[in-house]
Amino acid sequence: MSDSAVRVRELRKKYGDLTAVDGIDLDINRGEVFALLGPNGAGKTTTVEILEGHRRRDGGEVSVLGEDPGRAGRLWRSKLGIVLQSATDAAEFTVRETVHHFASYFPRPRDPDSVIELVGLAGKADAHIRHLSGGQRRRVDVALGVVGNPELLFLDEPTTGFDPEARRQFWGLISLLSDEGTTIVLTTHYLDEAEALASRVGVIAKGRVVALGEPATLAGRDRADATVSWSTPDGERRVKTPTPTKVVAELIAQFDGEIPDLTVRRPTLEDTYLGLIGEQL
């Protein structure tokens, strides 16, 4: 079995005169949590839809779990889990009825009641979906995505509508699935989520992959200058430097006691991301 869950070469897709995907190359390893980042209109949704087999490509080679999504059959589809942006609309059914029904579509599903508990809805199992909050409906979507026990799970903005506590619980679920060997492809606008969950991230802009790597080292982030700032009687001072410890040592020699409002800040993933898409857009 190949170590690659997803392999893409020179992927292309146009809508009329608009080039949505412009020659993407991508490899995602089995068991990896991979985050695909990019602004709206960058081509990431089209790319993911092609990987899921929901949209035809115009050119390039694509292999997902060893098969071409454009020609794969039902057995291949049963190996995928998909959580779309839109919330489920089974308003007249209970959570338990909905998850049990979806489980029946798959050859080797997880236990539906265990999945309901896993996504934090055990107390709402007999509630009709129309009575759930937006965040609770989103948890139902996640339950439907994982109940089939997928080898590869696609998550499209999965924590939209979650409160901070629910997001942290969801992160724990993703870590659990990853530990069990599930390959996860995540699209999100929450950069802290990508950094917390993903072993690698890819940034798409104008239909191309403009950066690829681990969150901590993406686009040379780990080698970028730090910013040292402090307060003086004349206002805030700020210095960008590759040697922040040296700058702080020099400041200690200048001040009698604490350095007022001292901060040392290295670029965040968000800083790096905004720099990348700013260059492209």
| 93, 55 contact by CB (below 8 A) | no
| H-assigned helices in 106-259 | 112-118, 134-146, 164-179, 191-197, 244-254
Put residue 219 in one of left, alpha, beta given phi > 0 → left and psi -120 to 50 → alpha.
left
Is residue 86 predicted with pLDDT exceeding 80? no
HEC sequence for 31-49:
CCEEEEECCCCCCHHHHHH
The reported pTM is 0.86
Q: Averaged over 65-84, what is the pLDDT? A: 93
Closest CA to 48 of 146, 186, 171, 180: 186
Share of the chain above pLDDT 90, in %: 71
pLDDT value for 163: 79
Is residue 1 predicted with pLDDT exceeding 60? no
